[in-house]
Structure 1
Amino acid sequence: MAVSDQEILAFVGENPGAGRDAIRRSVARDVSETTIWRLLKRLVEEGRLEVSGKGRATGYKIAGGSVVRAHLSTPYIRRVPVSYRPEFLDAYVPGKTWYLSSSDRERLIEAGRPRGGAVPAGTYARRILEQLLVDLSWASSRMEGNTYDILQTERLIKFGEEAAGKDRKEALMILNHKEAIQYVVDNLDAIGLRRLDLFAIHALLSDGLLADPAMSGRLRAMPVGISHSSYRPLDDAVTIAEEFDILLQKAAQITDPFEQSFFL
């Protein structure tokens, strides 16, 4: 019986540093030593696994930060252009494929378990809402290239004070995040991974920031590029809609909230 890349990656993810014999015994009993060696060699060459040690001490682990840093340190004009890979989404099977190891999921579940027993959805978020608005608005906006620091973000959200010398759109981006987070917390019981709900959140986040206001709260219908990146996003509206629906369908089947977050 053939062994899939995902089976190998899942086992190595659960058992960092596992050797070739352990991998073969666990997920590829019917595969020859030569075949498993070739499979592991290919996964290493593709940058999906890292190898350490030599001879009998050789071990494998999921490729991590060093590989990512090496790639990002290469000027984007020298990177090989890449486009959307539907097989990446297709290969994920909810309940069978995992981005997080079982031990990591258990630790996260335990860390997030409310003291004193279960509470209604959103209870804790409402309790810490003021700080949540600042922290999440700042962190999420920063990923979009926003240059406000955490203190400037706090003054903007709490007192409406815009930072001097900053683009007005940076303040608008942060305030949009505040509104979106407030909306999610206030409607947590009713919101799901549905088009309608996600479009509503997108409309709040993008209000006043898009060149075409009509695109707010909708799937993209035109080609876009990403500055300083070799990635080429999908430019076909039909395919975008199809892949979006597949993403939502699979995400809705993931019961672990942390795994679901990593998946999305």
Structure 2
Amino acid sequence: MTSKRQDIILNYLKQQGPTSRENLEQHLLLLGQSVSKVTLLRDLNKLVSAALVEKSGTGRATKYALSFHSAQTHPIDVADYFSRDADDRELRSEQFNFGVFQELHHLLTAEELEELDALNAIFRVRKAKLSPRLLQKEFERLTVELAWKSSKIEGCSYNVLEVERLLKENISAAGKAAEETQMVMNHKKALDYVLKQPDYYKEITVAKIEEIHTLLTAGLGVERGIRSGMVGIVGTNYRPLDNKFQIREALERLATLLNETTNAIERALLAVLMISYIQPFEDGNKRTSRILGNSILLADDYCPLSYRSVNEIEYKKGIILFYEQNNISYFKQLFLEQFRHAASKHF
């Protein structure tokens, strides 16, 4: 995360364009932020390392500017952003932005990649030490927690113990709607399908995404395949594509982007965000995105996510922020927190 002073620097660069260290120093002074040359250079170097700022020139001709990816990665004050009603927020685009495919690259910093890969290496060592029976039990625990939290994000009222009983004993909880029970069961079927053939998801295709969606929405009255009509989203004025051919084009471009992205965690992050953004199906899009993300992680022997500790409201805020600003900062923070949690608590 960036500091308050670094946020001021980023906002100034966003408004003024490329500028010198001296101009930044004067701007901070006007705001009551007296800062030494060494401290300011340290801030600027950190922003450059985080790929938020680009540095050009040498000596007195040195200039600093927002990086190409800064609009996507620059942290946003989420509390302030969502203190405004949906109609009062200025969106980058109210409609699907095809240009986002050119922008979503290198979303994780070198430091983040190093940390996450180190965590995953420890996860692999722990997993390798488990007996086949204990490994099976860990995947069963993951399935219960993922089915519970993923369904809860979508409004399901099952608690985690009720989900465990349903998946292990096939006993539904009293007073629950049949649709809720089916939603939970479908998560298990989809994850079981992925776990049986993890290598299948080393390459992503539109057909494979549709297969996951079909498993997750079976018995729920959801039309199979890519939708042909408009969908609205609660809490935002963002409007997804409504043309079936454009939706398929967006999915095909997403598959290409995923297959070209080398790091599994970044691929999974992209999958979860972009399936939610494209909204290719009549319903079940976010559920599909979470299972697809895990299929990508499992295919490269990375720890899958249960999302068990994520706050549902904050999760939705992160997704909406991407809808409205194509900014990944808050959702990326939540996603990486869930990876760290999963890699340390599972297996």
Same fold judged by TM-score > 0.5?
yes
Measured in 2, the distance between the counterparts of 1:34 and 1:88 equals 32
* Mapped pair 1:109 → 2:109: no
Measured in 2, the distance between the counterparts of 1:116 and 1:19 equals 39
* Mapped pair 1:88 → 2:100: yes
Q: Deviations over 1:165-223 (max 9, x none)?
A: 3222111111101100000001112233112222111100011223xx4x32x122211
Partner of 1:29: 56
What is the 5 A alignment of 1:225-240? 225-240=232-247
* Mapped pair 1:75 → 2:85: yes
Q: Structure 1 stretches (4+) deviating beyond 4 angstroms? A: 20-24, 31-37, 116-119, 122-127
* Mapped pair 1:158 → 2:168: yes
Deviation of residue 140 (structure 1)?
1.6
Q: What TM-score, normalized to structure 1? A: 0.70
* Mapped pair 1:188 → 2:212: no
Q: Go from structure 1 to structure 2 and tell me whether the alpha carbon gap of 1:165 and 1:78 turns closer, same or farther (over 3 Å shift).
A: farther
What is the 5 A alignment of 1:1-264? 18-19=43-44, 23=48, 27-30=54-57, 39-40=65-66, 62-64=74-76, 67-80=77-90, 82-92=94-104, 97-113=105-121, 114-115=124-125, 126=136, 128-191=138-201, 192-210=203-221, 213=222, 215-216=223-224, 218-264=225-271
Measured in 1, the distance between the counterparts of 2:255 and 2:135 equals 24
Which has the larger helix fraction? 2
Q: Go from structure 1 to structure 2 and tell me whether the alpha carbon gap of 1:251 and 1:112 turns closer, same or farther (over 3 Å shift).
A: same
Measured in 1, the distance between the counterparts of 2:237 and 2:58 equals 37
CA contact (8 A) 1:223 1:235 kept: yes
Q: Deviations over 1:28-52 (max 9, x none)?
A: 3249999956x55xx99x7x67xxx
Give the % identical residues.
26
Instruction: For 2:204, give the aligned amino acid.
Output: L
What's the RMSD between the two structures over aligned residues?
3.7
Q: Go from structure 1 to structure 2 and tell me whether the alpha carbon gap of 1:31 and 1:91 turns closer, same or farther (over 3 Å shift).
A: farther
User: Which structure 2 segments of 5+ residues have no match?
Assistant: 1-13, 19-41, 272-347
Measured in 2, the distance between the counterparts of 1:23 and 1:236 equals 40
SS of match in other structure, 2:143: helix
Q: Go from structure 1 to structure 2 and tell me whether the alpha carbon gap of 1:21 and 1:172 turns closer, same or farther (over 3 Å shift).
A: closer
CA contact (8 A) 2:230 2:241 kept: yes
SS of match in other structure, 1:189: helix
Measured in 2, the distance between the counterparts of 1:178 and 1:259 equals 24
Measured in 1, the distance between the counterparts of 2:109 and 2:134 equals 26
CA contact (8 A) 2:56 2:63 kept: no
CA contact (8 A) 1:125 1:185 kept: no
CA contact (8 A) 1:157 1:175 kept: yes
Measured in 2, the distance between the counterparts of 1:255 and 1:29 equals 28
Q: How many residues align?
A: 222
Instruction: For 2:179, give the aligned amino acid.
Output: K
SS of match in other structure, 1:98: coil
Q: Go from structure 1 to structure 2 and tell me whether the alpha carbon gap of 1:124 and 1:198 turns closer, same or farther (over 3 Å shift).
A: farther
Q: Go from structure 1 to structure 2 and tell me whether the alpha carbon gap of 1:87 and 1:173 turns closer, same or farther (over 3 Å shift).
A: same
CA contact (8 A) 1:76 1:229 kept: yes
Q: Go from structure 1 to structure 2 and tell me whether the alpha carbon gap of 1:20 and 1:115 turns closer, same or farther (over 3 Å shift).
A: closer
CA contact (8 A) 1:84 1:232 kept: yes
Measured in 2, the distance between the counterparts of 1:168 and 1:197 equals 27
Q: What TM-score, normalized to structure 2? A: 0.55
